[in-house]
Homo-oligomer: A and B are copies of this chain.
């Protein structure tokens, strides 16, 4: 199969009624806000100390390291978001700020290329002694990703040089050769970063190093056991029991068949495995496919959220998807987007983008407030603030987004994902242009140019104008919003789908392709093995999962009953939500809350009611209140049971 690659951000212009809000928000508000947070200038926010740690490590400031062993990565992910932003649209002031931060990172780098403020400041001399917890390779990975992006955006080599010196240090330290450590990261991330670095620099060595980390992982004797026996090992925290499964190092990645452990680690590793599969490394395509199926067919919420238990921020077993105690880390859904995009590139199949889109429009966007300055780390599928406040089993859940976190991985991960959206919208191959997400704007691949006008996700019309000669348009036909009508130059055409794409080949000279999708609101039923959802339904409209909020419906949202035949009316946005928002209204029934007693023999009365729904990703933007995505669904009645 011809290689499918993302279209670089500089070749993508976004001008979209839905996305402009977010891109403007991130560029004007979120990126500056996060810089303030990284510099501890946001009142009442969790302490970051991230920039200060670098300043101390660079000898520019007195003080002690503060934060987690992975604190550095917050700056790197912010820089990657900045790089994407600059690649989308130059901004000399922002670039100057980033240059300063990069210079600071360089100043904190050790002569041999090593960069990590935690070990430099807090455990000098102990570098790489605690790979399972130390996060040095994880941080290095995020630095490399940021450096690659910054080089691509600005053409400046300074950050890339820092990253290559760091990669050199890693390469000199790890490997099967005598005198090297046969270790691998406790938190995967550097593997996929090294693939990017290799692609950017043309240096084979980085690809081989990525391959080494994945091949060595989980080998016996088990490195994470061995390192604990070495002098100098000191634990940073109490690792979860079964660290092997938690960190997907229980067995070599190629042999893994089930998604287990920490969901973010898993996604980053699977993404790197997919990268190797794309490179043609044998075995990885099959392993990725198996793992992808396990995640998305057994362990994914309808919102594209994954990792259902807070213990170890981990996957639970198949079909174990509770709505209230859900963990569903925002970063894990970012990771699912990353994995999905690579699987689509590997296979040329659109179904992976369907999942990617689900994660993006629901969980990832839920991670950020409309104001851009508050974030969710945990994304429950239902929330009762009064329960949350009183029940320590729900202490991981927040009913309101937070300014920052002690472990603040999610905010910058959202930022870089939104600013890197272009890579998700389009892909290109020798054959042509792939339209994966529907987003108004333009894309150019050499002479090949397309212009998209999209009403998505609230509207159902997309039109594409194509120029630039003979090539194929691969237009995703989403399973969540199937194309029901297509026209080419105003002529109706049959909708024929290959691998989930409508493939149109022509010598394009300004031709117009128009599609109409079915985004009628629909109830969605969960597999009955997810027993807490039995007898219930969620409501979706295209890729958007809808939820009910207390602000629109009052309390006790669990009492609503969706009728057998659902008729939805689209509403204009409720106050406090963006004007483009399509809310929904439907006639329903509701159990009447008339009894005071805790248990009763009396059949609860049912009354007529109206249920208003908003897109899930917009919840908790209008104060604290209940939220729910799964509703009791009226059963069809069997005659004998009437």
Show the binding face of A for B, using Cβ within 8 Å: 240, 296-298, 300, 302, 308-312, 314, 316-320, 322, 324-325, 382, 384, 386-387, 389-393, 395, 522-532, 534-535, 538, 556-559, 561, 563-565, 587-589, 591, 593, 595-604, 606, 608, 628, 632, 634-638, 640-642
Are B532 and A559 in contact, CB atoms less than 8 angstroms apart?
A: no
4 closest Cβ contacts across the A-B interface?
Answer: A317-B390, A531-B558, A311-B392, A563-B641
**CB proximity of A460 to chain B, nearest CB, Å:** 16
Are A636 and B309 in contact, CB atoms less than 8 angstroms apart?
A: no
Point out the residues of chain B lying under 8 angstroms from A297, CB to CB.
596-598
Q: How far is the CA of A243 from the CA of B589 in the complex (A)?
A: 44
Given A608-B638, A638-B608, A309 and B599 contact (CB-CB distance below 8 Å): no
**CB proximity of A545 to chain B, nearest CB, Å:** 10
Are B526 and A599 in contact, CB atoms less than 8 angstroms apart?
A: yes
Q: How far is the CA of A463 from the CA of B588 in the complex (A)?
A: 51
Which single member of B384, B395, B632, B638 contacts A606 (CB below 8 Å)?
B638
**CB proximity of A295 to chain B, nearest CB, Å:** 10
Are A390 and B316 in contact, CB atoms less than 8 angstroms apart?
A: yes
Given A587-B640, A591-B534, A302 and B635 contact (CB-CB distance below 8 Å): no
Which single member of B531, B597, B641 contacts A384 (CB below 8 Å)?
B531
Q: How far is the CA of A588 from the CA of B637 in the complex (A)?
A: 11
Point out the residues of chain B lying under 8 angstroms from A389, CB to CB.
317
Are A316 and B636 in contact, CB atoms less than 8 angstroms apart?
A: no
Point out the residues of chain B lying under 8 angstroms from A393, CB to CB.
309-311, 316, 325, 393
Selected A-B contacts with CB under 8 Å, 30 pairs:
A296-B598, A298-B598, A309-B392, A314-B392, A316-B390, A317-B386, A317-B391, A318-B390, A320-B390, A322-B325, A384-B531, A393-B393, A524-B601, A525-B603, A527-B597, A527-B598, A527-B600, A528-B559, A528-B591, A528-B595, A531-B556, A531-B557, A534-B632, A535-B535, A535-B561, A563-B640, A563-B641, A589-B641, A603-B636, A608-B640
Point out the residues of chain B lying under 8 angstroms from A608, CB to CB.
638, 640
Are A316 and B635 in contact, CB atoms less than 8 angstroms apart?
A: no
* Interface hub of A311, A316, A641 (most chain B Cβ within 10 A): A641
Are B316 and A564 in contact, CB atoms less than 8 angstroms apart?
A: no
Point out the residues of chain B lying under 8 angstroms from A593, CB to CB.
528-529
Point out the residues of chain B lying under 8 angstroms from A386, CB to CB.
317-318
Given A556-B529, A600-B525, A603-B525, A635 and B638 contact (CB-CB distance below 8 Å): no
